Structure 1
Amino acid sequence: MAGKNISDLIERYLKEILAENNQIEIRRSEIAGLFDVVPSQINYVINTRFTIQNGYIVESKRGGGGYIRIEKANLLDDGEVLDALISGIGNRLSQRDGQTIVKTLYENGLIDRREANIILAVVDKNAYDVDNDLTEVMRANVLVSILNHLRYEK
């Protein structure tokens, strides 16, 4: 396991469970105990690796009977997921987040490899000869437009 950090191991563990089930419900403290980490480490993994941009829907309930539910989003069948993805983009989008969204679209079969490469070219920082703030605004607008077109094409 050389080269793997604990966040990678936790992510892999949760994804292996998700591969067998449509959704999982976990308790932070149980997973933290399994990996001998603090519960906030579990929060970190979920907040950074199981986002809507990565194709996951996360719901949590706090308290004594609290849980965290992680579900692999079905982008093709659920317009609400596309709406959440668009909403998550907002008015600005970093190149990294744009690449993550394109990867998710590809992995969920919404776009093929060629389309993914074309969209990646559009979200590339070198595609715009303007300052970074305007680039992030333009990138967000273009990706939202693409997502809206996907909603009606498939």
Structure 2
Amino acid sequence: MDPYATVTELNAYLDEPVDNPERMLNRASRRVRGALLSAIYDRTEPDTAAALRDATLELCAWWADNGMDGSEQDGGIGDPRAWTSVAAGPISLGGGRTGGAGGGQASATAAAAARAGLPEQSYLILQQAGLTGHGPRTGPPGWWC
């Protein structure tokens, strides 16, 4: 499938160009597509196409800001519910990604975004376009057409 954004759009969105923008856009589009696996949508509908493009660009920007290209196992997003305290023998780690500036638990949106493998801003774009929050749908073949 074609990526949800173009190299021209990516270059306009980012502060600095990235190496191999085509690959980054393909990876980001695949991740956005994966986050919407059970959603039914028409990618040619203008508002939907804009949300898919914007979420893809936001993901690319997040990767670029964090020195990544999307090849990382989890896209570099991680899980906001990750450790807040871990001890193994004499080694003790605290903190971790708690999802909020003041600490505490991750917001429901941040947790949903992490489960989808997206940064929160990408997920919010899709959520506000009505593309998330849908469980798998079942029915006879062709019922959704």
TM range (shorter): under 0.3
Where relative contact order (Cα < 8 A, 6+ residues apart) is larger, the structure is 2
Q: Which has the higher strand share?
A: 1
Which structure dedicates a bigger proportion of its chain to helix? Answer: 1
Q: TM-score, normalised by structure 1?
A: 0.24
TM-score, normalization by structure 2: 0.25
